[in-house]
Amino acid sequence: MNFELTEEQLMIQQAARDYAQRELIQDVLERDANATFPAKHVKALAELGFMGMMVDPKYNGGGMDTISYVLAMEELSKIDASMSVIVSVNNSLVCYGLDKYGDEFQKEKFLKPLASGEKIGAFLLSEPEAGSDATSQRTIAEDKGDHYLVNGTKNWITNANSASTYILIAQTDPAKKHKGITAFVLDKNSPGISLGPHEDKMGMRSSDTHSVMFTDVKVPKENRIGEEGFGFTFAMKILEGGRIGIAAQALGLASGALERAVAYAKERKAFGTAIANHQAIAFKLSDMAVKVENARNLCLKAAWLKDKGEAFGVASAMAKQYAADIAMEVTTEAVQIHGGYGYVKEYHVERLMREAKLTQIYEGTSEIQKIVISRSLLR
């Protein structure tokens, strides 16, 4: 069993680390405070090839494996989870969806600019009334002969404003319930699309999140991904891949928090010695380290299975649920270890804690992950 990373994987990890530690760190606190979009970083990361890492080079992608993607996501998330969620949505929801299920026309028109990072994408599934229960879609796409007419509202959409391309999940046949759901790719600037105000979020504040309203939006037939009724399966399959990205993000939040906690514990003195020398703190760090190591192994295993072409849905559910839950624990503990300093923005750990919370909620709550895992056990 080989636990070693290849030279390329190490270089990719280093490149992500260098960019994060040199560039993202410069304005991350300011962007969190003001909820400003990291436009220049999106451009730079696109130029470096981080927006379409796993897409085939013939569609402008990097042709990299999922392990490399996990490594990059972890490094970016240690410093800036807002930036890494933008990268994750683009890579493992939107590009993945088009790469796996799009036809040649859709790949040429939509996948290419997304993979090169020239444009970014958003994935529209959640609705005001449909979060965990994605079977009850209220957004309707009516077949009008040569196009579909879409009406409805999607919410909590990451990249809603900055994206140029949307992948939309909508109901084409309400009678068929979840078998009547269909997936589409479309241009964000289509007439009839409007955005709600920017959500004022607890964390990942530098990424843009809006609700998206569709009023008689025309979507050409050729933009439908797969057959009518394929949408639910499509969404579930795509989320399996997306889960790995978020698991890696949660891993990065946890490992970033651990690194900061270790550094702080070595320097901070109390009762005559560095607090790292007090067992209470040392044991906390030990527990945190084991959790991070477990999360990393789960993420890499899921990525490895996906790269081998094997079923990875349960593995990615385990990775996502575990990594998100421990990210919440580890970041909270990191704040605790920092004491008063952990409570102020300057030391970053309070931000990591706020950001970790979302990883337990989006792209499938921890509870949903447990449904996936338990169902596979109890089949």
Partner 1 sequence: MSILIYTENWDGKFKKVSFELASYAAALAEQTGKQAIAISLGEVENSELEKLGQYGIGKIVTAQDKRFATLDNKAITKAIAAAAKQVQAEVIILSHDNLGKAIAPRLAIRCNAGLVTAVTGLPESLNPFIVHKNVFTGKAIAHIKIEKEAKVLTLAYNSFGLNEKHSSVEITSFDPDLTDSDFSMEVLDTTKVTGKVLLNEADIVVSGGRGMKSADNWYLIEELAEELGAATACSRPVSDEGWRPHDEHVGQTGKIISPNLYFAFGISGAIQHLGGVSSSKVIVAVNKDPEAPIFEAADYGITGDALKVLPELIQAVKDTKNQ
Partner 2 sequence: MKILVLIGNVPDTTTKIKFNADQTGIDTAGVQWIINPWDEFALTRAMELKEAYAGAISSVVVANVGSSQTEPTLRKALAVGADKAIRIDAEAKDAFFVATQLAQIAGEYELILAGIEASDYNGSAVGGMLAELLDRSSVSAVTGLDLKDDKLLVTREIDGGNQHLLCTTPLLAIVQKGIAKEVRIPAMRGIMMARTKPLEVVAPVESSYATSIQKLELPPTKAACKMVAEDNVKELVRLLKEEAKVL
Under rule CB under 8 A, residue 8 binds partner 2: yes
Under rule CB under 8 A, residue 5 binds partner 2: no
Q: Which residues pair with 336 in a beta bridge?
A: none
Among 17, 147, 268, 370, binds partner 1 (CB under 8 A): 268
Kindly tell me which of 64 and 247 has the beta carbon lying closer to partner 2.
64
Stretch that binds partner 2, among 46-54, 84-92, 335-343, 363-371 (CB under 8 A): 46-54
CB atoms within 10 A of CB 283: 10
With CB under 5 to 8 Å by kind, the binding choice for 8 among partner 2, partner 1, none is partner 2
Among 144, 269, 308, 375, binds partner 1 (CB under 8 A): 269
With CB under 5 to 8 Å by kind, the binding choice for 267 among partner 1, partner 2, none is partner 1
- Residue 199 DSSP code: P
Kindly tell me which of 33 and 290 has the beta carbon lying closer to partner 1.
33
Concerning whether 363 is annotated as a catalytic residue, the answer is yes
Which residue, among 93, 51, 38, 50, has the nearest Cα to 243 in the 3D structure? 93
Alpha carbon distance 75, 20 (integer Å)? 7
How far apart are CB 272 and partner 2 at their closest, in Å?
Answer: 15
DSSP 83-99: HHHHHHIIIIIIIHHHH
Alpha carbon distance 81, 117 (integer Å)? 18
Beta-carbon contacts of 225 under 8 Å, excluding residues fewer than 6 positions away, are 97, 98, 101, 102, 103, 106, 167, 182, 183, 184, 185, 231, 234
Stretch that binds partner 2, among 16-24, 194-202, 205-213, 221-229 (CB under 8 A): 16-24
The alpha carbon of residue 113 and the mean position of all alpha carbons in its chain are separated, in whole angstroms, by 19
Under rule CB under 8 A, residue 216 binds partner 2: no
Kindly tell me which of 57 and 174 has the beta carbon lying closer to partner 2.
57
Active site residues: 363
List contacts with partner 2 (CB under 8 A).
Answer: 7-8, 10-12, 15, 18-19, 22, 47-50, 53, 57, 62-64
